[in-house]
Amino acid sequence: MREEEIIDAISRVEVRTGRERTIKSYVLRSTKLDEEQKKIVLENYEKYAVTFRGEMTEPGALFAHPSRPVIIEIGFGMGSSTQIIARDHSEYNYLALEVYLVGFVKLLRDVSRLQLDNIKLMRFNAVDVLERMIPDSSIAGFHIFFPDPWPKKRHHKRRLIQPDFVHLLASKLKKGGYIYCVTDWQEYADQMLEVLSGEPLLMNPYEGFCPPVSWRPMTKFEKKGLDKDYKINEVWFERR
């Protein structure tokens, strides 16, 4: 890809589908790169990133080892836990989605330093990616760690975990595939449990919240929450 094509690829976060976006839990704060960030992107984008395409694509075909199951992480933030999980679980491929430009560039840099061949990054709206690129019954799991809780009641409609979105996730899962969500906001955790419990395609192997998953690393963000006595709740549902 030419330089201007690469920069354009990470600048276009949403496509216009002719209808109002029903799920958009983020606010774009920056679309500009400084010179160091631009260098990181130009040197590593083609190897470690994926450009949005409006056509169905077999997820495994995006990776060096297409036979590995694909996990999608939605909203990886700064990517601290993302890179550790991908490094320690090379039996999976990881497609990591994030609209936050600083976090995207940081993880792109870190992945290139670790030379991981089982992770690809996309800077694009997750709903468009799922609806227009990912075939049904093709994904082994979804990770959604600490999504924005939008704590004010009038903003609850902006939360990512809503019935329509959960149904979209469930439709993309293979049988036995999972949705794994984590939050430190109790009221949002309760909503997550309620919404996922209401999706007919999913089942909860636990009676409520799941016990802590040992392979998910603790981030600095999570530790700050624990220091403030926030309770971490984890939700795990599987495709029937």
| Residues involved in catalysis | 148
Beta-carbon neighbour count of residue 161 at 10 Å? 24
- Please name which of 101, 89, 110, 98 lies closest in space to residue 38, comparing C-alpha atoms: 101
- Bridge partners (DSSP) of residue 67 are none
| CB-based contact 183:209 (threshold 8 Å) | no
Structure tokens at 165: 């979105």
Scanning the chain, the segments in alpha helix (DSSP H) are 3-11, 35-48, 80-88, 101-114, 126-132, 163-172, 186-197, 220-227
In whole angstroms, give the CA distance from residue 140 to residue 69.
6
Dihedral (CA of 178, 184, 188, 189) sign: positive
Q: Per-residue DSSP letters for 133-190?
A: TSPTT-EEEEEEES-----SGGGGGG-S--HHHHHHHHHHEEEEEEEEEEES-HHHHH
Is 21 strand, coil or helix?
coil
